[in-house]
Amino acid sequence: MRHGPWQERRFECVDGPVKKVLPGAACKRRLGQAHERPRAPRRPGTKRRDSRMMEAIWAGAPVPLPGSRFRFLSIESDPPMPSPSSFLREAIEMAVQNVTTGQGGPFAALVVRDGEIVGRGTNVVTTLNDPTAHAEVTAIRRACDALDDFELAGCTLYATCEPCPMCLGAAYWARLDRVYYAATQEDAAEAGFDDHHIYEEMAKPPTERQIPMDQALSEEANRPFEAWLDYEDRVAY
C-alpha cells in the first residue's frame, strides 16, 4: 500500500522520434542534474524562471528543460484512496438491497485490500438455509477465493454492523488487519438480532452454558493432534 501522495513525472525527447516516460528519479539522473543548476538572482518586479515554469506545468503545458533534450510533460498522481465511510456506504446499500430483494437479513460486508474490493458478502442465512452464512463470513470466503489464500493479512473488513461472535472469530482466523463497522450490537438488538447473550455464554465455564457441553474420550482426544504434528507436509494456519 502506498502511503501519502505518489507522483510520476513524465518527460519526452524533443529532438528524437522516441518518447520516453521516466519516473522523476530516473529523469534526474538522465538529465545530469540539469534542473538543479544554480539560479540567477531575481530582478525586482519579475518572477523567477522556475516559478513561471511551475505555473505552466500545473496548467498542463509541456515545458522545455534548460540545457537538456527533454521537456516536462506532466505530473501524474494516483487517485486518492477511498475513505472508510465510502466503503461502509456501499455495504449499507448492499444490505438494503439484500432486504428489499428478499435475499436475506439486513447485513453486508466488504473485504478491501489496497483500496480495492476483493470480496463482497451479504447475509444469506435464509436463502441457503445456512446459519453460518453471515455477511462477514461470506465476504471473507469470497476474498480468500479471489486471492487464492486462506489468510487475509493486509486486508480490511467493512461491515454494516458490529460483527457477531462467529464473524469476529472469522476475522481473527482470517488475520485481517482491521475492521470497520457502522451499526452497533445495540442497534442490531433493537431490530431483533440480539447476540449479546452469546458473548455472555462464551465467558461462562463450558458446564454452565445454555447448550450443555460435556467432555468425553479425553484419553483418545489427542490422536488427531499427534497425527497433525507427525505429518511433515502440513500447512500451518
Q: Does the annotation count 136 as an active-site position?
A: yes
8 A C-beta contact, residue 42 and residue 48: yes
Distance, CA of 54 to CA of 59 (rounded, Å): 8
Question: In this structure, what C-alpha cell is assigned to residue 222?
Answer: 489427542
Catalogue the E-assigned strands of 162-229. 178-183
Catalogue the E-assigned strands of the chain. 7-13, 63-64, 70-77, 108-113, 116-122, 155-161, 178-183
Question: In this structure, what C-alpha cell is assigned to residue 2?
Answer: 502506498
What amino acid occupies position 192? Answer: G
Given the residues 55, 90, 116, 136, the one annotated as active site = 136
Place of cell 483500496: 115
Vertex 213 angle, CA 210 and 219, to 5°: 170
Nearest Cα neighbor of 106 from 127, 124, 120, 82 is 124
Count of CB atoms within 10 A of residue 153's CB? 10
8 A C-beta contact, residue 137 and residue 167: yes
Map residue 133 onto helix, strand or coil: coil
- The residues annotated as belonging to the active site are 136
